[in-house]
């Protein structure tokens, strides 16, 4: 069953979170000259029109890229994402929105490799055609492939399965984005199984999983299960633009779970997430959460239940690296909401800032009507 079309959701708040984090992860990999590989297990169509077709139906971009478009106070770390989207719209009018393959392609260098998977027969055609046009355009501009081998490979097939054949990447440096539709609940299980397998093949890779934050049990369990997969560490960030709607329709909250995250990411998220809550938040339930931890790096055959140590207990890796700002330790995730002062990330330890436990900024509305809840 393949009915999901990302075009309906292009540029929404979940895309903003996902693509901003994706760019951060790729930029980190790009700091070293050595080539790296980016794998997109669920690529979608690559580029979406916002003023025609699917995106017009619910205009979900108005919950995401829309409110950011004209802002002149965007934090530096978010500005690159915004510049990238604006670069796709040279007329200045918001007409096109780049999907993850396009975002990646813009950030990646000539020596890096993109490996894109897409299962939907229509989406794969559009994705291939989009990249064909892009390459033709670049060739017209005089840009030539400077490396041997194919820089971009587009595979029509199952990304969960396809990943197995290409890990580890030749340079042993890489990022895998796993972004399924979660239309079927088996996607939650497959994400975990896929990661367990991938981490055995390529333990030092970085893995980013997008997931919807819903009241359904599989959604709640997913990040908890991912925290227990043996790796060097994890980071979980969620963005909620509002509380659930009374009818249970619509996606108001999503997360990015990163395994083996770069050490710089947490500080960047602390800078940007309060801003996103302020600009995209619709009501007092708007908030972000950031939590991170470490699991043991263990190579075993069976699943390992390694203890998750809270941030406060970790040997402070930040302090061992020059230039990293000191990070406040806490066993609790960092939470911010619209109830905080604009632009200020709440302290996790102060009564006023740590508002996770008080007021409507924290309270979870009654469970959404599960039968009506859409995955995205």
Would the CA dihedral through 106, 16, 130, 191 be positive or negative?
positive
The answer to whether 60 contacts ligand SAM (rule: CB under 6 A) is no
The answer to whether 2 contacts ligand SAM (rule: CB under 6 A) is yes
For the bound state, the minimum distance from the C-beta of residue 359 to ligand SAM, rounded and expressed in Å, comes to: 33
- Residue number with CB closer to ligand SAM (121 or 302): 121
- Residue number with CB closer to ligand SAM (179 or 196): 179
The answer to whether 115 contacts ligand SAM (rule: CB under 6 A) is no
Q: Of 98, 14, 30, 65, nearest to 288 (Cα)?
A: 14
In the DSSP assignment, the letter for residue 294 is B
Among 12, 37, 63, 100, binds ligand SAM (CB under 6 A): 100
- Residue number with CB closer to ligand SAM (18 or 278): 18
The footprint of ligand SAM on residues 180-199 (CB under 6 A) is 180-181
Using CB under 6 A as the criterion, what x/- string covers residues 17-46 for binding ligand SAM?
Answer: -x---------------------xxxxx--
The answer to whether 105 contacts ligand SAM (rule: CB under 6 A) is no
Contact at 8 Å (CB) between 284 and 360?
Answer: yes
Q: How many positions of this chain bind ligand SAM (CB under 6 A)?
A: 22
The first and second tokens of residue 74, run together, are: 């965007």
Q: Is 6 annotated as a binding residue?
A: no
73 belongs to the catalytic site: no
Q: What is the CA radius of gyration of the chain?
A: 20
For the bound state, the minimum distance from the C-beta of residue 164 to ligand SAM, rounded and expressed in Å, comes to: 12
Instruction: Choose the catalytic residue: 179, 187, 319, 357.
Output: 179
Q: Of 358, 362, 338, nearest to 350 (Cα)?
A: 358
Count of CB atoms within 10 A of residue 342's CB? Answer: 10
Strand partners, 96: 49
Q: Is 159 annotated as a binding residue?
A: yes
The answer to whether 375 contacts ligand SAM (rule: CB under 6 A) is no
Contact at 8 Å (CB) between 186 and 168?
Answer: no
Q: Is 42 annotated as a binding residue?
A: yes
Contact at 8 Å (CB) between 261 and 233?
Answer: yes
The answer to whether 202 contacts ligand SAM (rule: CB under 6 A) is no
- Residue number with CB closer to ligand SAM (6 or 270): 6
For the bound state, the minimum distance from the C-beta of residue 100 to ligand SAM, rounded and expressed in Å, comes to: 3
- Residue number with CB closer to ligand SAM (180 or 230): 180
Please give the Cα distance from 207 to 231 (Å, whole number). 10
Among 119, 126, 152, 335, binds ligand SAM (CB under 6 A): 119
Determine if the peptide bond prior to 168 is cis (ω within 30°): yes
Please give the Cα distance from 329 to 294 (Å, whole number). 14
CA distances, 28 to each of 116, 197, 198, 232, 273 (Å): 20, 24, 21, 17, 19
What are the residues binding ligand SAM (CB under 6 A)?
2, 4, 6, 18, 40-44, 99-100, 117-120, 123, 158-160, 179-181
- What residues are labeled active site? 179
């Amino acid at each position: 069953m393949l009915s999901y079309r990302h075009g309906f959701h292009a540029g929404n708040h979940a895309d903003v979170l996902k693509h901003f984090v994706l760019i951060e992860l790729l930029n980190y990999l790009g700091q070293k000259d050595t080539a790296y590989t980016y794998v997109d297990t669920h690529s979608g169509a690559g580029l979406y029109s916002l003023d025609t077709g699917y995106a017009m139906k619910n205009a979900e971009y108005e919950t995401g890229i829309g409110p950011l478009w004209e802002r002149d106070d965007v934090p530096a770390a978010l500005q690159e994402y915004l510049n990238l989207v604006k670069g796709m719209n040279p007329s200045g009018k918001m007409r096109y929105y780049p999907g993850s393959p396009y975002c990646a392609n813009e950030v990646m260098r000539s020596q890096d490799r993109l490996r894109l998977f897409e299962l939907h027969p229509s989406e794969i055609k559009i994705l291939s055609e989009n990249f064909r046009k892009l390459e033709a355009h670049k060739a017209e501009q005089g840009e030539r492939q400077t490396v041997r081998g194919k820089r971009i490979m587009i595979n029509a097939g199952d990304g969960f399965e396809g990943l197995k054949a290409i890990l580890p990447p030749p340079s042993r440096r890489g990022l895998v984005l796993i972004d399924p539709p979660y239309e079927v609940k088996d996607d939650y299980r497959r994400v975990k199984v896929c990661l367990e397998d991938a981490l055995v093949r390529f333990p030092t890779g970085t893995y980013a999983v997008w997931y919807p934050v819903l009241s359904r049990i599989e959604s709640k369990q997913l990040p908890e299960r991912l925290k227990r997969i043996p790796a060097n560490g994890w980071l979980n960030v969620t963005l909620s633009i509002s509380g659930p709607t009374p009818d249970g329709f619509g996606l108001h909250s999503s997360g990015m779970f990163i395994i083996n995250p770069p050490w710089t990411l947490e500080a960047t998220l602390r800078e940007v997430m309060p801003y996103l809550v302020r600009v995209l938040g619709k009501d007092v339930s708007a908030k972000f959460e950031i939590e991170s931890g470490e699991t043991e790096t263990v190579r075993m055959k069976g699943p390992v239940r390694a203890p998750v140590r809270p941030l406060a207990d970790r040997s402070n890796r930040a302090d061992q690296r020059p230039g990293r700002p000191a990070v406040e330790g806490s066993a609790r995730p960092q939470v911010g909401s619209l109830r905080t002062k604009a632009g200020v990330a709440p302290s996790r330890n102060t009564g006023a800032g740590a508002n996770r436990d008080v007021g409507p900024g924290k309270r979870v509305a009654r469970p959404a009507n599960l039968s009506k809840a859409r995955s995205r």
